[in-house]
């Protein structure tokens, strides 16, 4: 059996800061291209990002198999960030309002936390490092692109729909965890690495606390758009 993967990743070390910077840069470029109306370049960037979001999971799976670290906790793409990556592909290919809204809230409230407190042990230049930040950074960049680049401003009810669906995810994946013994969504135990879950109390209380925290973050994310929706409503009368 191959040797265990060395736990070398260090949060906010050079490789982590580089990934955060790259995510911000990619998001800024995508938004700028979209707002400038550079149609061919915009579509090319969308296809590249969609391909990156799709390929990251097979890369991670191959890494787990090669290193002998494939477990019931990582052999299925059932974490919220995995589903958000697939949602990002849908956003990039369809540009639909509903999907842009949902990814905006899920991506910035959930996947962004994965960027800031990565559940990652393999550092650059491990394939797992690249797959992790392709998935998480790609989701965050696409979430910002959908709202700021494509101008799909969230509707007033979008935050409530996103919160309802994230709780539905927890319910369904909780059942899946019970069947498989997995820990998808970190519903059975907290990540081994430091995260916001550490501030939310023991199991199972941190699950309810995380749901309420998600709602608070959704409401905060929605605040910048309230005035614009009000102006649009008045103009439509």
Question: What is residue 14's predicted lDDT score, i.e. its pLDDT?
Answer: 94
Residue 220 has pLDDT above 70, yes or no: yes
How far from the centroid of its chain's Cα atoms is residue 203's Cα?
23
Question: What is residue 4's predicted lDDT score, i.e. its pLDDT?
Answer: 47
Question: What is residue 1's predicted lDDT score, i.e. its pLDDT?
Answer: 41
Question: What is residue 132's predicted lDDT score, i.e. its pLDDT?
Answer: 94
Question: What is residue 209's predicted lDDT score, i.e. its pLDDT?
Answer: 94
pLDDT in tens, 151-165: 999 999 999 999 999
Question: What is residue 2's predicted lDDT score, i.e. its pLDDT?
Answer: 46
Q: pLDDT class for 232, splitting at 50, 70, 90? A: low
Question: What is residue 236's predicted lDDT score, i.e. its pLDDT?
Answer: 62
Tell me the mean pLDDT in the region 43-56. Answer: 96
Alpha helix locations (H) across 97-157? 97-106, 112-116, 127-144
pLDDT in tens, 78-133: 999 999 999 999 999 999 999 999 999 999 998 998 899 998 888 999 999 999 99
Computed over every residue of the chain, the mean pLDDT equals 92
**Contact assessment for residue 38 and residue 152, using Cβ atoms and an 8 Å cutoff:** no
Q: pLDDT class for 195, splitting at 50, 70, 90? A: confident
Q: What does pTM read for this prediction?
A: 0.91
Question: What is residue 227's predicted lDDT score, i.e. its pLDDT?
Answer: 83
Residue 199 has pLDDT above 90, yes or no: no
Question: What is residue 196's predicted lDDT score, i.e. its pLDDT?
Answer: 83
Output the furthest CA–CA distance in the chain (Å, rounded). Answer: 69
* Other residues' Cβ atoms within 10 Å of the Cβ of residue 176: 14
Question: Taking Cα atoms as reference points, which of 145, 117, 125, 128 lies closest to residue 50?
Answer: 145
Tell me the mean pLDDT in the region 1-6. Answer: 47
Q: pLDDT class for 233, splitting at 50, 70, 90? A: low
**Contact assessment for residue 163 and residue 218, using Cβ atoms and an 8 Å cutoff:** yes
Question: What is residue 154's predicted lDDT score, i.e. its pLDDT?
Answer: 95
Write the secondary structure of 173-215 as one string of H (helix), E (strand) and C (coil).
HHHHHHHHCCCHHHCCCCCCCCCHHHHCCCCCHHHHHHHHHHH
């Amino acid at each position: 059996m191959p040797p265990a993967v060395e736990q070398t990743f260090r949060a906010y070390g050079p490789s982590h800061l580089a990934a955060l910077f790259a995510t911000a840069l990619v998001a800024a470029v995508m938004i700028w291209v979209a707002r400038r109306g550079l149609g061919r370049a915009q579509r090319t960037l969308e296809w590249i990002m969609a391909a990156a979001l799709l390929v990251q999971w097979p890369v991670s799976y191959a890494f787990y198999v090669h290193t002998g670290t494939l477990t019931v906790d990582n052999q299925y793409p059932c974490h919220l960030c995995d589903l958000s990556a697939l949602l990002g592909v849908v956003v990039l290919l369809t540009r639909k309002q509903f999907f842009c809204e949902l990814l905006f809230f899920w991506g910035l409230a959930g996947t962004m936390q994965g960027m800031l407190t990565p559940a990652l042990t393999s550092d650059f230049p491990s394939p797992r490092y690249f797959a992790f930040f392709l998935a998480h950074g790609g989701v965050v960049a696409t979430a910002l692109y959908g709202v700021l680049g494509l101008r799909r401003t969230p509707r007033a009810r979008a935050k409530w729909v996103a919160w309802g669906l994230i709780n539905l995810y927890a319910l369904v994946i909780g059942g899946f965890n019970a069947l498989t013994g997995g820990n998808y969504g970190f519903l059975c135990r907290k990540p081994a690495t430091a995260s916001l879950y550490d501030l939310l109390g023991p199991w199972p209380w941190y699950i309810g606390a995380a749901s309420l925290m998600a709602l608070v973050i959704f409401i905060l994310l929605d605040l910048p758009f309230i005035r614009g929706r009000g102006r649009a409503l008045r103009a439509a009368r």
